[in-house]
Structure 1
Amino acid sequence: MLNLFELANLHPDIEAVHEVVQALKARIDGKEVGIKILKNEAGHYFYELSHYYRGADNANPYVSTDNRFASVEEAARGALRSATMFYRSTDEGGTWLKNESFYP
């Protein structure tokens, strides 16, 4: 197992090192959304999404602040909840926005 804390201390400009433990794709009403499950140096899991949904009545896309989980499965459920929280197939004018910090 990698010691992420030790890796992060190799250079003073490294802010954090996260291990990608799972890469998933979800198709939501025809839109493919990438999901990465990562693990931090404290052993917690979190997710990153390739896209966020902004509904016609929302000013900004919803980004969950509750993004720390004890297992990969919990992180995957949290990611899907976050991706679909405000999505409605009947939402005319809603759009999927690309997460520019998501790398494949």
Structure 2
Amino acid sequence: MSLIDYLDDEKIDFVEEIVSQWIIRIGDQKINIRITKDAHGYFQFVTSHYYHGSEQAGPYIASAANFTSEKEAIIYARRQVVSFYDPADKNAVWVENTLF
């Protein structure tokens, strides 16, 4: 039995275990990455900020979820943070994830 099973209760809507948390810096921006594992054994990631380049319609937020390993979740979190990052874009902003 996993420890997460002890939180299985009809009054609890959702439970995840925090597996790891990382702090990275890109330019002047500090970004937190949290990796969690749900009751079904899948890994998820969430970042504290999203990058919004001046040529993008909105910030890039990856839609991938339910990873089979912590490593896979970290790889996708890195992609979300740096895929569109352009240090030369002076009008880009980091948008805070209010759900972090």
TM over 0.5: yes
The gaps in structure 2 that reach 5 residues or longer are none
List structure 1 segments (4+ residues) > 6 angstroms apart after TM superposition: none
Counterpart pick for 1:42 among 36, 40, 43: 40
Hey, what does 2:9 align to over in structure 1?
9
Q: Could you say what secondary structure the match of 1:68 adopts? A: coil
Identity %: 32
What is the RMSD computed on CA atoms of the aligned residues? 1.4
Which amino acid is the alignment partner of residue 3 of structure 1?
A: I
Do the aligned residues in 1 keep the contact of 2:49 with 2:96 (CA within 8 Å)? Answer: yes
Q: Secondary structure at the match of 1:79?
A: helix
Q: In the alignment, residue 19 of structure 2 is paired with which amino acid? A: V
Alignment-derived partner of residue 28 in structure 2: 30
The 2-side partners of 1:81 and 1:67 are apart by: 13
What secondary structure does 2:3 align onto?
A: coil
TM-score (norm 1): 0.86
Q: Which amino acid aligns with 2:68?
A: A
Structure 1: 5+ residue stretches without partners: none
